[in-house]
Amino acid sequence: MADHPSASSPESKTLPFVVFALDERRYALALARVRRSIRAIAITPLPEAPPIVLGIIDLGGTVLPVIDIRRRFGRPPRELRLSDQLMIADTGRRSLALLVDETKGVIEVSPDRYTAASAIIPGLGPIGGALTLDDGLVLIHDLDLLLSLDEESAIDLALGAAERKDDELGR
């Protein structure tokens, strides 16, 4: 698994994660995959993108697809709020923005608090494992499994079409 956590340094015995919330549920990403978290900004629709893509943002001259992570995890849809955040993260193939309710912060946990998805139930989709914390479980996302190959291809096609349209309009 690509998102298998590793200790933050050879002498360290902790695993670093970024914790975020959707509704009242907490999830985590391996810290090494997250570049930063920002307040939500205007999202431009991206025609022909797969349903999981809310649109695109321009972050310092780099266009990033915004992923509706709520949809992927079966959370009810809702309107964008001023308090929402975008987590800028890297999959094995691309950078993207994940729309989350709130970034809770970075935690470091001992390896004995980490359980791989295969030890829970094989085939959990984009879930890479779970963390057992004093106040409950936190599911860990495997970003390499977040998008299917078809979704990746559809995003590439939609981004290419948008770029060609901008070129035609002289932007």
Label residue 80 left, alpha or beta by phi (over 0 means left) and psi (-120 to 50 means alpha).
beta
Average pLDDT over residues 80-98: 92
- CATH class of the region 15-168: mainly beta
For 27-56, the pLDDT digits (tens) are 999 999 999 999 999 999 998 899 999 999
Q: Are 57 and 43 in contact (CB under 8 A)?
A: yes
Task: Read off the pLDDT band of 26 (50, 70, 90).
Answer: very high
Residue 2 and residue 128: Cα distance in Å, rounded?
A: 9
For 94-149, the pLDDT digits (tens) are 899 999 999 999 999 998 888 877 677 666 667 778 888 888 888 888 888 888 88
Task: Read off the pLDDT band of 9 (50, 70, 90).
Answer: very low
87 pLDDT higher than 80? yes
Task: Read off the pLDDT band of 1 (50, 70, 90).
Answer: very low
Q: Which of 21-25, 86-90, 122-126 has the lowest mean pLDDT?
A: 122-126
Q: Are 52 and 150 in contact (CB under 8 A)?
A: no
Looking at the DSSP assignment, which residues form a beta bridge with residue 43?
none
